Structure 1
Amino acid sequence: MKDSGYFYFNPDYLIFEADTTNEEMTLRLGLKTETHANALHTQRIGRITIDQHYSLDNVNTSQDTTLFDDVIFLRNKNKPVIRPEVILRAVYLKKDELYNRRDHNITLNRLMSMGNFKFVQMKFTDNDSTGLLDVAILLTPLPINTFRAEMELVTKSNNYTGPRMNVSLLNRNTFGGSEQLKLNMAGSFEAQLNAINKGLFSYTFNPQLELTFPRLLVPFQLKPSHNIYTPQTRFAFAYNYIKRVNYFDMNSLLFSYGYKWKKNARITHELTPINISNTSLSNESDDFKALLVANPYLKKSYDEQFVAGESYSFTYNDPSTTEKVAQHFLQLRAESAGGLFSLINSISGNHPSPDHPGTILGMVYSQFVRLDADARTYINIGNKDKLAMRFYAGAGKAFGNSASLPYSRQFFSGGPNSVRAFAINSLGPGDYQQQTTGGFLQTGGDIKIEINAEYRFDIYSFLKGALFVDAGNVWLQASNPVNLGNPFRLNSFLSEMAVGSGIGLRLDVSFFVLRFDLATPLRKPWLPSADRWVVNEINPFKADWRRENLMLNIAIGYPF
């Protein structure tokens, strides 16, 4: 009824009457006698007033009034405002149209999702002179500028420890159209503390600029949507500098342009038609060059670091609630790069190949496709316990201009959010055992499969516990020219899955989770096939076994 203009109608006005005459029962739906008369008449929208600086604490005495498209806008003379046409894109109630509860809810949600307002209220009043329903939209703004600084002490499972600092400045109305401009400056220092690689360290510097528009910026006209969520267009510029002392300096420039929109509360789409990154190495040490000579796959990965392509992701995420027995999460992602450049080269008569690669502005570009899927299920057990399960699979294929995936697009396994019994990114490919290089230069793969299961339970108040088992690995494809470990084969990959298990302790204070996971390997894929299961070797009372097999992961947040 409320979707058809009956603003004052209430379901409590309905009454069911039962008639059981002649051994038959007839139900009649009627109205209670106390039903208000105005509940039986439709209401049309009258005057619409929008106050951008509404506050309960202060009476605004310095307001300007502006009429735009039959809507009255109130603004504080001394404060910045969002342009009227931008706000009206989120207002679906129109003057002289029938009241509609759906348009009411869309307006509330769209105004809130703009990210500019702390509270959004709508007040309706009868206008006795016109007989219409006047609307006042009261917007309580968030601060235009927000500054945030974070300092962390990071400890990784590759034994590197050090401070990380992140400083960000957010402007919520950059050009007067609710655009959000965020400047982020991050830096870190990490040092190896164990005896094997003591003295190795690295530091990073990562400035990033993001500009987000509360609409889809496209070169054609879009039909108005009645979705309650505001779509976004995002531009991002970033520069990453990494200093790997005794190895190399890495400089990376990144630019992306894409869209994000929600179909409903569960489904989110992200499309990035332009995604460009260029990475270059300098100050390469003799030790690093020797490593690349010994590992042609790693060398090829670092050679091809100009990536220009597009990507798409689909995310399904059930709202987290204890009322449902199970919640599900699914994310599917696809990425391709280099196709347009190869097409241009082919039209011009060139036929790029890994041996004779094509270039753009003098740079060899990567050409590949990459797909991955991340599926999770959370099963509530009782009021507080939970069984969390995750399956991840990904595959990438280099072709045309490239012989292998660029390093940044390879798959890695092992670490605090992966197979926790093994050091970060240390597994694979296949049955290959990686040699230590200070934790910086792990070898990735073309294919990745991981399976995780974790039983989470309460211990006391914010102290939580977990029992978990992880399995996974990465592989090269059989077509990859590099002979490094067994390639992926359907009849053998299960026997090459690393397996680990352990216990966890979590400090969960709702907005912050500090996680300690202690794990040990149960199966090591690099050992001979008959000796890979190492359960019978577990001996926590032996110092040598503890040193080689116990892996303590310290991380922020849950692993999945």
Structure 2
Amino acid sequence: MIGKVNALLLRVLAFWLLLAPFVFITFPAFAQSSTGLQPPVFIDKIELTGNRAISSADIISEMRTRENTTYMGFFRPWLGINRFTQHLFADPNGGAYAFATPLVSDSSGLKNWIQRMLGEAPREFSAREFELDIVRLTELYAYNGFYAVRIDTTIIYQEAGRRVSLKVKISEGLPTLIDSIRYEGLDSVSPQLREKLPDDSELHIGDICSIERILNERDRLVDLFRENGYNFIAADSISVTLDTLRQSAGVYFLVRLPERLTYGEVSAIVHNAQGADSANQLKESLDDEVGIKVYSSKRLSHKLLRRAIQYRPKDLTQASLRLKTLQQLNQLGIFESIYIRNDSVQHKQLFSTIHLQLAPQHQIKPELLIDNRNSEPFFGLSLGYLNRNLFGGAESFNISTSAGIQLSYNQNLLEGIESKGGFFDGLPYNIEAVADIGIPYLFGLGNRFNTSVQYSFTQLPILLKQQRALIRFRVQGGANQYQRITFDILELELVLNDSLNAFRELFEEKIAENIDVDPTDEDEITTAIDSLLEKRLNPTIRFDFLFSNQIDSRRDFDVRWSFTAEETGSITYLVDRFIDTKSREGFTDDDPQIFGLPYSQYYKFSSQLSLAFSSGRKTQLATKFLIGFMSPYGKADQTPQERRFYSGGANSMRGWPYNSLGPGRNPSETVSNLGADIKIESSVEYRISFFTFLNQASGVVLFSDVGNIWNRTGEYAFVLGNWVQELAWDAGFGLRIGTPIGPIRLDFAYRIFDPTNSDDGWEIKKWAFPKFNFNFAIGEAF
């Protein structure tokens, strides 16, 4: 009986701990002081009306009077956590609360940590601050060209003056338009430069006369003059005068130009990475009008550094040349810090020195690998070695090895499979070794050349062993702060497959019928298995393009777009067609092979677009769309299994385990592990940050995914009029714990629509809280 009573008390206490934050949201009177002092007035709601030219989010961000963070118009969980914590712990200031006795002492500082990291303090109302906010909003509208704005406010007190609602009505009026633009102080400017002034101007006759546009035009002028020899011009070198009559305005720029300069002596100093510079280690040279000093016992090519420095004595000073110099030196990958110091100006010449701090040449990189691939825990270790300057020309050498093992079998894949010859030869695992050497220039700096060799040995969860060995020749070029282009000149991959005990039984029971193979025909099964286990050569040419605007501080939203195109088999086909013309045993003339080795022939395209919009101070709406297609050609009639598209897992359809969805309405997870040739997928996430961990933003995510994979032909092929009905759909929530290497991601996903369900597919009808699919990873899903 005592045990039952204790269990009941524990349940009641647990229920109260879960319910209390929401009680304090709903009944804020509990948070009031009972000392007899005038209680604070808390802000309940701020309502904006009449604003069209400026968004509500921008207006709220300008105000210091703010309501607590609200979700879906009423839900304020972090406020509830703060209030509940105020009562749960002792009050260090001695104040008396509705709770006579606090439950826990605050001597550990846990109260402040919870309130600061997990909670949000109630927003108190200040009439004086609200008045200043109206002044700020008037200035904000003037900043955007609305000088006739009128702002009216209404203050509504509730609950005996303990809470207040604020209404702000904005009458924007007509904007002030620009009717003239003039530039003065340009008598010393060359006619050619003067002609460039109107090009790409931020201001035009008839535009709204916003301060933002005027400042952007001023900054454009600064950049233009810095690019044409006026190195020391600054924003305060240009004064702006507005001549306004409310509805129209003239804008006048008065430019005070500094002296026009050319470059004088150019020098670069490479400082010792292991201590103070020593004259005993100094190596210096002067060539191509650039002096180089290196304080290091390590070899370092002076010629390489000169190639990276983009300006020379007597060249007109240009900001773009300095920037390109910094970028080129950074791309070498051997410096820890880089900066250019202006030393002096003499006889209209700018003398400068480039200071370079070498990074450590050698680095050991251990890593712990943890995920839940195949819906089972997977643990592994990786150890890498990096040499940043192998031969003295900034050649990088990187070698790494990794090994990991899955801690248990995926029962969904292997359910009902038994074998007379014993079961499996151990759990699924992966062993991999990679070596890479990179040269920081190919026909010029900015084009990096890499050669890689790789070997991996993998035991797959569908009772297959796979060995892959490849050599790759890669060029990276066309890189700037927004884009990167990668071109694999040639990738030669050899794939060897073998089966484990019970694979034939698994093939007969779960694979054959789903890939149009008769499970009762032994010869047909043997042929299909032989084809699946056939060794292959994949000679691939690949093009990758990546665009991202993350570097742009003035961006309105985040954009990331990638596109990949690859072709495999054209080189081996030419060898097959013109060099190896002999017949080989076991092959016909229609089989793709050279010297008795089968090869793949296919082309493949994929593209992914990701967008992220800030919808509030602590919230972000993100979405992605992915599409992929591949097809065999020439002598080949199917695509290689290791290059196909897959669906399901932490970075895909999170309601399904890794690689366990599709193709189409296929119900077998085992068949899903063989992939397909067509993929469509889309996701949306609502990210909420409300606490920090290791000084990194952390919070929760609400998400939904939709997508699937399809074959090109057969029962589970992509059909234009039917593919929408075969899209899988999931939704869920997740936790993001910030770390310096990226957020730790814990996602719990529920299936809403499952096209593989033989009923109507709507899994939401059978929804139950424990029936989720758990995903663990590091970094955002997209």
Matched, 1:536 2:771: no
Matched, 1:234 2:456: no
Matched, 1:72 2:72: no
Instruction: Describe the shift of the 1:474–1:123 C-alpha distance in structure 2 as closer, same or farther (beyond 3 A).
Output: same
Matched, 1:550 2:772: yes
Matched, 1:275 2:275: no
| Cα deviations by residue, 1:345-369 (Å, 9 ceiling, x for unpaired) | 3346689999831312321000000
**Aligned equivalents of 2:239, 2:583: Cα separation in 1:** 77
Please tell me whether the aligned partners of residues 304 and 366 of structure 1 are also in contact (alpha carbons under 8 angstroms): no
User: Where in structure 2 are the equivalents of 1:463-542 lying within 5 Å?
Assistant: 463-478=698-713, 483=714, 485-528=715-758, 531-540=760-769
**Aligned equivalents of 2:235, 2:583: Cα separation in 1:** 70
* Aligned twin of 2:680: 449
Instruction: Describe the shift of the 1:321–1:88 C-alpha distance in structure 2 as closer, same or farther (beyond 3 A).
Output: closer
**Aligned equivalents of 1:111, 1:378: Cα separation in 2:** 32
Please tell me whether the aligned partners of residues 377 and 407 of structure 2 are also in contact (alpha carbons under 8 angstroms): yes
Matched, 1:203 2:433: no
Structure with the larger RCO, 1 or 2 (CA within 8 Å, 6+ apart)? 1
| Cα deviations by residue, 1:159-199 (Å, 9 ceiling, x for unpaired) | 32232111111111112111111111111121216777698
User: Where in structure 2 are the equivalents of 1:83-98 lying within 5 Å?
Assistant: 83-98=301-316
Q: Could you tell me which of 370, 373, 382 is aligned with 1:153?
A: 370
Q: Could you tell me which of 339, 350, 353 is aligned with 2:570?
A: 339
Cα deviation for residue 321 of structure 1 reads 7.2
**Aligned equivalents of 1:354, 1:402: Cα separation in 2:** 12
Q: Could you tell me which of 610, 613, 616 is aligned with 1:376?
A: 610
Q: Could you tell me which of 117, 129, 139 is aligned with 2:356?
A: 139
Please tell me whether the aligned partners of residues 209 and 237 of structure 1 are also in contact (alpha carbons under 8 angstroms): yes
Cα deviation for residue 8 of structure 1 reads 3.5
Matched, 1:2 2:217: no
Instruction: Describe the shift of the 1:31–1:310 C-alpha distance in structure 2 as closer, same or farther (beyond 3 A).
Output: closer
Instruction: Describe the shift of the 1:464–1:262 C-alpha distance in structure 2 as closer, same or farther (beyond 3 A).
Output: farther
**Aligned equivalents of 1:91, 1:119: Cα separation in 2:** 15
Please tell me whether the aligned partners of residues 435 and 453 of structure 2 are also in contact (alpha carbons under 8 angstroms): yes
Cα deviation for residue 248 of structure 1 reads 4.3
Cα deviation for residue 301 of structure 1 reads 4.6
Instruction: Describe the shift of the 1:539–1:104 C-alpha distance in structure 2 as closer, same or farther (beyond 3 A).
Output: closer
| Cα deviations by residue, 1:261-313 (Å, 9 ceiling, x for unpaired) | 2453222211112011111134x334224445664657445425310020111
Cα deviation for residue 384 of structure 1 reads 1.5
SS of 2:231's partner is: coil
| Cα deviations by residue, 1:474-508 (Å, 9 ceiling, x for unpaired) | 11112xxxx4x421101001111111111111112
SS of 2:407's partner is: strand
**Aligned equivalents of 2:541, 2:232: Cα separation in 1:** 50
**Aligned equivalents of 2:436, 2:636: Cα separation in 1:** 31
User: Where in structure 2 are the equivalents of 1:377-416 lying within 5 Å?
Assistant: 377-416=611-650
**Aligned equivalents of 2:701, 2:460: Cα separation in 1:** 35
SS of 2:236's partner is: helix
> For residue 653 of structure 2, what is the amino acid of its counterpart?
V
Aligned residues: 521
SS of 1:374's partner is: strand
**Aligned equivalents of 1:56, 1:164: Cα separation in 2:** 34
Instruction: Describe the shift of the 1:351–1:395 C-alpha distance in structure 2 as closer, same or farther (beyond 3 A).
Output: farther
Please tell me whether the aligned partners of residues 388 and 455 of structure 1 are also in contact (alpha carbons under 8 angstroms): yes
**Aligned equivalents of 2:773, 2:732: Cα separation in 1:** 9
Instruction: Describe the shift of the 1:212–1:56 C-alpha distance in structure 2 as closer, same or farther (beyond 3 A).
Output: closer
> For residue 667 of structure 2, what is the amino acid of its counterpart?
Q
* Aligned twin of 2:321: 103
Cα deviation for residue 28 of structure 1 reads 6.7
**Aligned equivalents of 2:674, 2:283: Cα separation in 1:** 63
**Aligned equivalents of 2:487, 2:343: Cα separation in 1:** 42
**Aligned equivalents of 2:617, 2:550: Cα separation in 1:** 17
* Aligned twin of 1:260: 476
* Aligned twin of 1:118: 336
User: Where in structure 2 are the equivalents of 1:27-46 lying within 5 Å?
Assistant: 30=254, 39-40=258-259, 42-46=260-264
Instruction: Describe the shift of the 1:114–1:246 C-alpha distance in structure 2 as closer, same or farther (beyond 3 A).
Output: closer
SS of 2:227's partner is: helix
Q: Could you tell me which of 490, 502, 517 is aligned with 1:287?
A: 502
What TM-score do you get using the length of structure 2 for normalisation? 0.62
**Aligned equivalents of 2:704, 2:336: Cα separation in 1:** 42
What TM-score do you get using the length of structure 1 for normalisation? 0.85
Cα deviation for residue 344 of structure 1 reads 3.7
Q: Could you tell me which of 339, 352, 356 is aligned with 2:590?
A: 356
SS of 1:92's partner is: coil
**Aligned equivalents of 1:392, 1:111: Cα separation in 2:** 35
**Aligned equivalents of 1:336, 1:419: Cα separation in 2:** 27
Please tell me whether the aligned partners of residues 304 and 406 of structure 1 are also in contact (alpha carbons under 8 angstroms): no
Instruction: Describe the shift of the 1:475–1:8 C-alpha distance in structure 2 as closer, same or farther (beyond 3 A).
Output: closer
* Aligned twin of 2:66: none
Instruction: Describe the shift of the 1:291–1:400 C-alpha distance in structure 2 as closer, same or farther (beyond 3 A).
Output: farther
Cα deviation for residue 468 of structure 1 reads 1.1
Cα deviation for residue 53 of structure 1 reads 1.7
| Cα deviations by residue, 1:440-472 (Å, 9 ceiling, x for unpaired) | x81211101111111111243344111111111
Instruction: Describe the shift of the 1:49–1:358 C-alpha distance in structure 2 as closer, same or farther (beyond 3 A).
Output: same
**Aligned equivalents of 1:452, 1:417: Cα separation in 2:** 10
Please tell me whether the aligned partners of residues 159 and 193 of structure 1 are also in contact (alpha carbons under 8 angstroms): no
> For residue 487 of structure 1, what is the amino acid of its counterpart?
A
Instruction: Describe the shift of the 1:363–1:68 C-alpha distance in structure 2 as closer, same or farther (beyond 3 A).
Output: same
* Aligned twin of 1:543: none
Please tell me whether the aligned partners of residues 50 and 72 of structure 1 are also in contact (alpha carbons under 8 angstroms): yes
> For residue 446 of structure 1, what is the amino acid of its counterpart?
D
Please tell me whether the aligned partners of residues 496 and 535 of structure 2 are also in contact (alpha carbons under 8 angstroms): no
Please tell me whether the aligned partners of residues 322 and 380 of structure 1 are also in contact (alpha carbons under 8 angstroms): no
Cα deviation for residue 104 of structure 1 reads 1.4
Matched, 1:164 2:399: no
SS of 1:178's partner is: coil
| Cα deviations by residue, 1:14-56 (Å, 9 ceiling, x for unpaired) | 4467899xxx998775565xx7xxx33x323232222112679
Identity fraction in percent: 21
* Aligned twin of 1:12: 236
> For residue 539 of structure 1, what is the amino acid of its counterpart?
A
| Cα deviations by residue, 1:379-419 (Å, 9 ceiling, x for unpaired) | 11111201111111101101223221111111111111111
Q: For the aligned residues, what is the CA RMSD? A: 3.1
SS of 2:428's partner is: strand
Q: Could you tell me which of 662, 666, 684 is aligned with 1:432?
A: 666
Please tell me whether the aligned partners of residues 575 and 594 of structure 2 are also in contact (alpha carbons under 8 angstroms): no
Q: Could you tell me which of 534, 540, 546 is aligned with 1:315?
A: 546
* Aligned twin of 1:183: 399
Please tell me whether the aligned partners of residues 507 and 514 of structure 1 are also in contact (alpha carbons under 8 angstroms): yes
Please tell me whether the aligned partners of residues 434 and 443 of structure 1 are also in contact (alpha carbons under 8 angstroms): no
Structure having the higher helix fraction is 2
